[in-house]
Amino acid sequence: MDGTSRVKTALAEGKRVALGVWQLLPGSNLARILARAGYDWVLVDCEHGNIDDAAMHESVAAVAGYGVSPIVRTESKTAMSSLTVAASRFPPQGRRGFGSPFAMDRFAVGLTASQYLAQANATLLLAVPIETREALDAADAIAAVDGLDLLFVGPFDLGNSIGHPVLNGVIDAVLEEAIEKVLRAAHAAGQKAGIYCGDGAQAKHYAEMGFDLVNVQTDVGALSASLTRELATVAGTGASTPGSRGPYGS
């Protein structure tokens, strides 16, 4: 840990989109494979996958060991507020308690507690998911919360919430406008905007739209697509790889 964060550096410079991959399956060896793939960040999903707290800590350490930014997706139960921001940062910027003696060892060998505390606030990325009609309607207010870094769109849940679900991998015009609304709200407030995508083609579309942080694939999606593709190749069936244009595939 040297006072920098790969994903925050990319976002601050604004020269390219910060691209990431989603980890749904537990395992530090899997996390290392994802971290070696060339992405800026790996999100360890503790909501949708079967990754528990212990497995999350192991994956975070594995990802950080490659200089890639680990992001942890926790289950959302509270609305974004100034109290949420304060709870995520150490004093004087917040009120987060310093309780773990292991956090600094996740990022560098020999990093002292004082060094970790001096750098932690600057390298932390705080993102809020926009996945419901309520969050969509409050996008401008959420983006205005001081200390927030990024609004992150979850198209699958957002589409379900507003009555325009992703079907067969297709994002319809109403959901697309909702996605653009979040992008506009974030940028109008000087914040960054991110989005979950199911594959490279979809990721390219939203990167070109102006999103600053984009998920490209999941471990599950990549594994499934690769196995299906290679089986079709050796069997000579010419079967196409199942699409994954929606957040969770077709």
CATH at 202: 3.20.20.60
**CA 148 to CA 80: how far, in whole Å?**
9
* 199/197 Cα distance (integer angstroms): 6
Q: What is the DSSP letter of 107?
A: T
247 falls within a domain:
no
Q: Give the CA dihedral 186, 192, 196, 200, nearest 10 degrees.
A: 120
Quick check: 150 and 125 in contact, CB under 8 A? Answer: yes
Quick check: pTM over 0.85? yes
Band of the pLDDT at 136, cuts 50, 70, 90? very high
For the chain, the domain total comes to 1
Angle, alpha carbons 56-61-63 (nearest 5°): 95
Instruction: For residues 142 and 184, give the distance between their C-alpha atoms in angstroms, rounded to a whole number.
Output: 12
Residue 86: predicted pLDDT = 86
pLDDT of res. 97: 86
For residue 242, being part of any structural domain is answered with: no
Q: Are 5 and 69 in contact (CB under 8 A)?
A: yes
* pLDDT digit string, tens, across residues 75-119: 665 556 677 888 888 888 889 888 777 777 766 677 788 888 878
Residue 33 has pLDDT above 70, yes or no: yes
Q: How many CB atoms lie within 10 A of CB 16?
A: 11
Q: Phi, psi at residue 178, to the nearest 5°?
A: -65, -40
Q: What domain range includes position 18?
A: 6-235
Residue 241 belongs to a domain: no
By the 10 Å C-beta count (0-12 exposed, 13-18 middle, 19+ buried), 142 is classed as buried
| Active-site residue, from 48, 57, 187, 205 | 48
- Name the β-bridge partners of 213: 18, 194
Is 70 within the bounds of a domain? yes
Least confident of 140-149, 230-239, 241-250: 241-250
Whole-number Å distance between alpha carbons of 151 and 135 = 10
Whole-number pLDDT of residue 84: 80
- Asked whether residue 225 is assigned to any structural domain, the reply reads yes
Does residue 248 lie in a domain region? no
Degrees, nearest 5: CA angle 158-159-160: 90
48 included as an active-site residue? yes
Answer yes or no: are the C-beta atoms of 177 and 134 closer than 8 Å.
no
198 has a pLDDT exceeding 50: yes
pLDDT at residue 247 in the model: 41
How sure is the predictor about 123, in pLDDT bands with cuts at 50, 70 and 90? confident
Return the structure tokens found at 215.
């998920």
Give the per-residue pLDDT at 75.
Answer: 66
Alpha helices in 25-112 (DSSP H): 28-35, 53-64, 82-88
Q: How many Å apart are CA 243 and CA 19, to the nearest integer? A: 20
> pLDDT for 174-189, tens place per residue?
999 999 999 999 999 9
